[in-house]
Amino acid sequence: MDKNALQTNKVVRPPVVVVMGHVDHGKSTLLDYIRKSNVVAGEAGGITQSISAYEVSHKDENKVDRLITFLDTPGHEAFSNMRARGAYASDIAILVVSAEDSVKAQTIEAYNTIIESKTPYIVAINKIDRPNANIEKTKMDLVEKGIYLEGMGGDIPFVLISAKVGTGVNDLLDMILLVADMQTFTGDPKLNASGIIIEANREPKRGISATVVIKNGTLKSGMFVVAGTALVTTRIMENFNGVSIKEATFSSPIRLVGFESMPEVGSTFESFATKKEAEVYVNMIKEELLNNKSTKKDGEIMGKIIPLIVKTDVVGSMEALEKEISRLNNSEISYKIISFGVGAISESDLKMANANKETIIVGFNTKLDNGARDLNETLKVTVETFDIIYKLTDWLKVIIEERRPRVESVEVTGSLKILKIFGSTKDKQVVGGKVVQGRIVNGGIVRIMRRDFEIGRGKIVELQHNKIKAKEVLEESECGVQVETKMGIAPGDILEAFIVTIK
């Protein structure tokens, strides 16, 4: 095919933006103000946030409404997790710096992350309405740290804002669109969608769901999505307002419900028209993982990371602690020390930890100061202090075991094919069927399968064989079953009884 012909389907797509910076410099306030003032569908200030990303609408210099997607979790790990082909969740980063406090250590950490990812960025100097704001000092501090702003020897665009009252926020949105135009982010709507997982969780009633951002292509109802080795059909697809949709394209944030296993945050996804194509891709990924595992170098740490803040009484304790903590790390889970300091555990330590709920604070020969103790009544950060190193490491061993990723194994113990529906109430249905494999047990949990897809789950609350109540019914036998479920069961469905083993 002619190369030029391949380019004809490409169109300009909305930018995906992440906001980064120090925890106290106004990232969340900025995101809240933008969402309440500019969110699409005219629901300004009234939406209930359903997923951790959203779209806003803003008029460009030609008065044309254009979309911008914001990731609603500042510094989200999806931003820094590189996908296999070198792409990132966001296209543009906003580095927020307070005009009161100027450049802090977290500011530089965020800046380094942005530079490493080669993401275009804009500096937003926030809190310009505060009495102690010193804009010129903040600009000079940025330049001293190598962040060369426009008009000060560099070409980094910056905007003066007050996220609290909205001053300059429209200018910031203008600048985002200007940077997007300069970068020319494009996508092909005719391709099958691909993108990045930015959030994943397990819901009691709906199972495993994930928030994804589409970076290219179009996703339609009935397609199949693969993220790593996790597979889901797009039967339940919702936009950022939680509204069911049939189709989405770049750079939309959407929620997919019903994954077979938990997708990894920061991983990429691909989509396919048929389940067979998706399964072939999953098998290919599994084979790659096996190959990578077999070639993993000795001492290489992979798997889940637990952020750790360590405070000690003297500098000399740090090296010994760091060495002991590193010995706890393994291929499944490890500690990453994100901050080391001398002195009491302070409010700023707690606020830093609160930015990521996985973070733990440990103190060695030190305590929480009064302000930190009071603040933690609200924040509930995990904090412990010790005066003996082995007690500290023993406690960390317990935490690492509790948080170690578990492998969940599902074993089907019996299958019942539904032959007839006798009746139903709001949450119970009486059906007749035949056990086609294994056995069905009264009180057991079942998956409701329709054309090889799980559509819901239920519990067997009564079982009858030959019109007599039974504890179990074996293979090749017909029986009557009362199932407690909110999902409508139909003839031809399969009830799969199963047991879950976690190791």
Assess if residue 98 is contained within a domain. Answer: yes
Residue 429: which pLDDT band, with cuts at 50, 70 and 90? very high
Assess if residue 422 is contained within a domain. Answer: yes
Tokens of 53: 């990303």
Distance separating alpha carbons of residues 392 and 394, to the nearest angstrom:
6
pLDDT of residue 39: 56
Tokens of 120: 């275009």
Do 480 and 428 share a domain, yes or no?
yes
Residue 291 reports pLDDT greater than 80? no
Q: Can you tell me which residue has the tokens 């704001």?
A: 133
pLDDT of residue 48: 35
pLDDT higher for 127 or 343?
Answer: 127
Residue 3: which pLDDT band, with cuts at 50, 70 and 90? very low
Residue 105 reports pLDDT greater than 90? no
**3-class DSSP assignment, residue 401:** helix
**3-class DSSP assignment, residue 123:** strand
pLDDT higher for 436 or 114?
Answer: 436
pLDDT (tens digit per residue) in 322-341: 888 988 988 888 898 888 88
Do 180 and 214 share a domain, yes or no?
no
pLDDT (tens digit per residue) in 245-290: 999 998 889 999 999 887 877 788 999 999 999 999 988 887 776 6
Q: What is the mean pLDDT of residues 157-162?
A: 95
Do 26 and 150 share a domain, yes or no?
yes
Q: What is the mean pLDDT of residues 240-248?
A: 91
* Among 403, 428, 452, residue at a domain's last position: 403
Do 164 and 28 share a domain, yes or no?
yes
Assess if residue 297 is contained within a domain. Answer: no
Residue 476 reports pLDDT greater than 80? yes
pLDDT of residue 224: 96
Residue 35 reports pLDDT greater than 70? yes
Residue 503 reports pLDDT greater than 50? yes
Distance separating alpha carbons of residues 267 and 88, to the nearest angstrom:
10
* Among 292, 316, 340, residue at a domain's last position: 292
pLDDT higher for 113 or 371?
Answer: 371
Do 24 and 157 share a domain, yes or no?
yes
pLDDT of residue 301: 42
Residue 72: which pLDDT band, with cuts at 50, 70 and 90? low
Question: Mean pLDDT: which of 23-37, 126-140, 251-265, 450-464 is highest?
Answer: 126-140
pLDDT (tens digit per residue) in 362-390: 999 999 999 999 999 999 999 999 988 88
Assess if residue 421 is contained within a domain. Answer: yes
Do 44 and 152 share a domain, yes or no?
yes
Do 26 and 136 share a domain, yes or no?
yes
* Among 161, 185, 209, residue at a domain's last position: 185
The domain of 477 spans 408-502
Instruction: Work out the mean pLDDT of the chain and round it to a whole number.
Output: 84
Q: What is the mean pLDDT of residues 224-231?
A: 90
Question: Mean pLDDT: which of 259-263, 331-335, 408-412, 465-469 is highest?
Answer: 465-469
pLDDT of residue 454: 83
Do 106 and 87 share a domain, yes or no?
yes
| CATH number (domain holding residue 18) | 3.40.50.300
Do 13 and 159 share a domain, yes or no?
yes
Query: Which secondary structure element, helix H or strand E, spans residue 308, and what is its range?
Result: strand 304-312
Percent of the chain with pLDDT over 70: 88
Distance separating alpha carbons of residues 274 and 488, to the nearest angstrom:
25
Residue of 483, 457, 462 lying closest to 472 (CA atoms): 462
pLDDT of residue 88: 66
pLDDT higher for 307 or 297?
Answer: 307
Assess if residue 299 is contained within a domain. Answer: no
Percent of the chain with pLDDT over 90: 48
Task: Quote the number of domains for the chain.
Answer: 4
Assess if residue 419 is contained within a domain. Answer: yes
Do 181 and 44 share a domain, yes or no?
yes
Which residues neighbour 214 within 8 Å (Cβ) at sequence distance 6 or greater?
A: 193, 194, 195, 248, 249, 250, 251, 252, 253, 254
pLDDT higher for 467 or 296?
Answer: 467
| CATH number (domain holding residue 426) | 2.40.30.10
DSSP characters over 228-240: TTEEEETTEEE-T
Single-letter code of the amino acid located at 271: S
Q: What is the mean pLDDT of residues 305-330?
A: 83
User: 457-462 long-range CB contacts below 8 Å, 24 or more apart?
Assistant: 457/207, 457/485, 457/487, 458/483, 458/484, 458/485, 458/487, 458/489, 458/495, 459/483, 459/484, 459/485, 460/484, 460/495, 460/497, 461/428
Tokens of 277: 């194509």
Q: 305 vs 23, 67, 339, 453, CA distance in Å?
A: 20, 34, 14, 33
Do 27 and 49 share a domain, yes or no?
yes
| CATH number (domain holding residue 374) | 3.40.50.10050
Residue 121: which pLDDT band, with cuts at 50, 70 and 90? very high
Do 261 and 170 share a domain, yes or no?
no
Residue 484: which pLDDT band, with cuts at 50, 70 and 90? very high
Cα atoms in the 13 Å half-sphere on the side-chain side of 83 = 21
pLDDT (tens digit per residue) in 144-159: 888 999 988 889 999 9
- Residue 298 has what DSSP assignment? T
